[in-house]
Structure 1
Amino acid sequence: MSRGPDRSAGGVVKDVHIFLQNVNKNYAHVDYVLESLKDNFDILFFQEPPWRTIRQTVSTTSAEGDDVVGAPKHPDWLYMVRLPTDGLNPCVMAYVHRHLACLRPSMRWDIIDYWDIFVLSLFTFKGAVNLLNVYSDNAHTTINLLSQEVDSLLALAHMGGDFNCHSEVWDPACSLHPLVVQCLLEFTSDISLEWAQPSNPGLTYIPHNPDLAGSMINLVFMGLLSERSDLLRLDPDHHGPLDHVPISTLVPISESKIRISRIVISRESPEEARFFVDLATGLWALTVEDLSSPDRIEVAAVAVAEIFSLAWNAHAKEVVVTTCSKSWWDN
């Protein structure tokens, strides 16, 4: 019998246990994980899941039957995946244990509609808890997309996946810090997440070819939900035949609130109108007669910046982004 999620004395689900792995389209391994981890985990986040013909079903047009295509299914797990579009198979999917049905787990394609990003929402008495499953290819497509869509994201409690991103920040054997890493770190900072170091550090990608070096490209980012240091662990016991090491994460979902704020001027608001009036007035009154030297250009630039700063500070206000917000610009 499944252990069920950890609950408080009042029956409130306190945390969820997430198993995360790039399964490299290995159908047999996913089938094994579904059965072997049904009593230990609440959510399975997979990258590069298998997608193949499972069986044939009765057809009115073919004697051989119609193909039933997909990933493995199991009676204890809710199967959640975006179906293929334009010939592109899904690169991320989730299995949610049926004992979490009370939290109404939902795929949120309304937030980001992209086949390499999976947003899972759980609805607690304090509101939605949003968890992100990510696969980013070698061209860093998903990282770049997330950076562009930061204003549309809800508050997140967890973001994990295969980022295909090498950096000295999380891999002491790596001397690189490419621009895409800075892009990723700025994005996570904007949504108040931090890279979570496993309590048992090690490589997360171990190539089968012994001539190739291992690395740390499977990552988890979490909010400041707990001071405990044992929330995240590498899980070599369930590594299987794959070259990606699973990551096990315990995510608190009810003991703390996530608070994210931004200083904004709401679009099409009276404050925005007054901001533009003050800005135009200040710039119109600015006297710039001589820009013939670097020093004079710098003086003019400082004056323009001061006008923008005064107008902004006069009309901007702090907005707290909650789990129900749709944009940093919400009132």
Structure 2
Amino acid sequence: MLLRVLSQNVNCSPVITQTLLETKAKEYDIVLVQEPYWGFLHNVLSSVSSTGEEYLGTQIHPHWTLVEQGGPSCVATYINKCLSPLQPKLCTHLVNHPDLLLIAIPDGQRPLYILNVYNDADCTALHYLNARVHVLPAIDIMMGDLNLHNNIWDPAYSHNDHAVTELLDFTNSLGLVLLNTDGQPTHVPHARGMVRTSTIIDLIFVAGRIVEAPTTIFFIDPDGWLLSDHNPLLLSADTSLQLPPGIPRIERKSDAEQMFFADCVLAISGLNPTPPLDSIEDTQRLCDTIFSRIDEAFATHATIPSINQRSKTWWNNKCSLALACFRETRSREDWRIYRRTIRKAQRTHYDTIIHETADKQR
């Protein structure tokens, strides 16, 4: 299957993270976030406080499975629920660091390993990786904010950070190849008219077999930054991952269900006159015929559902329009309008759920 991965530093913004999770669920399988928001989400019931206790964390979403270390950290990984049958796993026994997340997706005899990296100014994550390079598996994809400058990936940059040698030694030892060598910026100052030049500090390294695959596509989205100062890194790579076939179903109380019932009635009524039932064999043949026609009707109207939680999302058309308006103008005012729009949509959505739940319990 074609694995689609997005990586972006979101500058600790819950709005940027929410936007990615809402708008990219049908486009990407994995979202790697650096510097995610961590803080107050909502109050939860408490035995010691009438107002409840603060629940701290980062964003979750019904379309995605959040993978995190637990507690404040500089990385978070979201795995699309469509990959749930593959049972991706967090490999803390191999990499256990607040600035790193290593996930493994089972793929036959050898898992596919994806590493999400945030490397701070002290190169804490890089030092950790180099100290454990002898126990690490063969990583297939490494993406994130490396915070390192070098003219290998940024020809316009004259100063080379001393830790680059350490990074290249690490990637070479694992057989990883750098993809973004075209000089396209990934880090752009917030004030886009500033004299400060844009730089390349968000990098992607992949295994050699991924580089050589003709279907591998990598690019940097210069328009996908929202209000982050980092452009998203986007990767599509053909893998040997195979999703197990889903089970066809017919949604209850749907048009498909009504058509299924109608086809069953039509098929069974077509058996008139009823065949003679003079023996057990006659009865068995009739039953087999009925079940066969029901199976045919089911196969006609059943579909394989997308894997998702049952809860509906709060995103609506007004959110989409507000986001499109901001992307068109890139103005702070339209960003504020967008934030107000999604907050109103969330409030309306969850108020409706609360009222519906309260009505059911009466």
Q: Give the alignment's TM-score, normalised by structure 1.
A: 0.69
Q: Structure 1: how far apart are the matches of 2:97 and 2:227? A: 29
Matching residue of 1:235? 221
**Where does the alignment leave 5 or more consecutive residues of structure 2 unmatched?**
242-362
**1:249 counterpart = 2:235:** yes
SS of 1:237 mapped into structure 2:
coil
1:165, distance to aligned residue in structure 2 (A) = 0.2
Matching residue of 1:92? 75
**1:146 counterpart = 2:129:** yes
Q: Structure 2 matches for 1:10-21, cutoff 5 A?
A: 14-21=1-8
**1:133 counterpart = 2:116:** yes
**1:225 counterpart = 2:219:** no
Q: 1:51 aligns with which of 38, 53, 57?
A: 38
1:236, distance to aligned residue in structure 2 (A) = 2.6
Question: Structure 1, residues 147-204: CA drift from partner, whole Å, max 9, x if none?
Answer: 1110010111000100000001100111233331011001100000011126x75100
Runs of 4+ in 1 over 3 A off after TM superposition: none
1:134–1:162 Cα contact (<8 Å) kept: yes
Instruction: Supply the AA of the counterpart residue of 2:217.
Output: L
Instruction: Supply the AA of the counterpart residue of 1:27.
Output: P
Question: Structure 1, residues 47-103: CA drift from partner, whole Å, max 9, x if none?
Answer: 00001111101110111101111111111100111112xxxx110010000010121
Matching residue of 2:84? 101
Q: Structure 1: how far apart are the matches of 2:207 and 2:3? A: 14
Matching residue of 2:48? 61
Instruction: Supply the AA of the counterpart residue of 2:240.
Output: S
2:215–2:238 Cα contact (<8 Å) kept: no
Matching residue of 1:207? 189
Q: Structure 2: how far apart are the matches of 1:229 and 1:103? A: 22
Instruction: Supply the AA of the counterpart residue of 1:165.
Output: L
SS of 1:250 mapped into structure 2:
strand
Q: Structure 2: how far apart are the matches of 1:96 and 1:201? A: 29
1:229, distance to aligned residue in structure 2 (A) = 7.5
**1:31 counterpart = 2:18:** yes
Q: Which has the higher strand share?
A: 1
Question: Structure 1, residues 289-327: CA drift from partner, whole Å, max 9, x if none?
Answer: xxxxxxxxxxxxxxxxxxxxxxxxxxxxxxxxxxxxxxx
Q: Structure 1: how far apart are the matches of 2:64 and 2:108? A: 23
SS of 1:179 mapped into structure 2:
coil
SS of 1:33 mapped into structure 2:
helix
1:212, distance to aligned residue in structure 2 (A) = 2.1
Matching residue of 1:123? 106
SS of 2:196 mapped into structure 1:
coil
Instruction: Supply the AA of the counterpart residue of 2:174.
Output: I
Query: Percent of aligned pairs with the same residue?
Result: 28
Matching residue of 2:70? 83
Q: Structure 2 matches for 1:249-328, cutoff 5 A?
A: 249-254=235-240
The CA RMSD over aligned residues, in Å, is 1.5
Pairs aligned (count): 237
Q: Which has the higher helix share?
A: 2
**1:22 counterpart = 2:9:** yes
**Where does the alignment leave 5 or more consecutive residues of structure 1 unmatched?**
1-13, 256-331
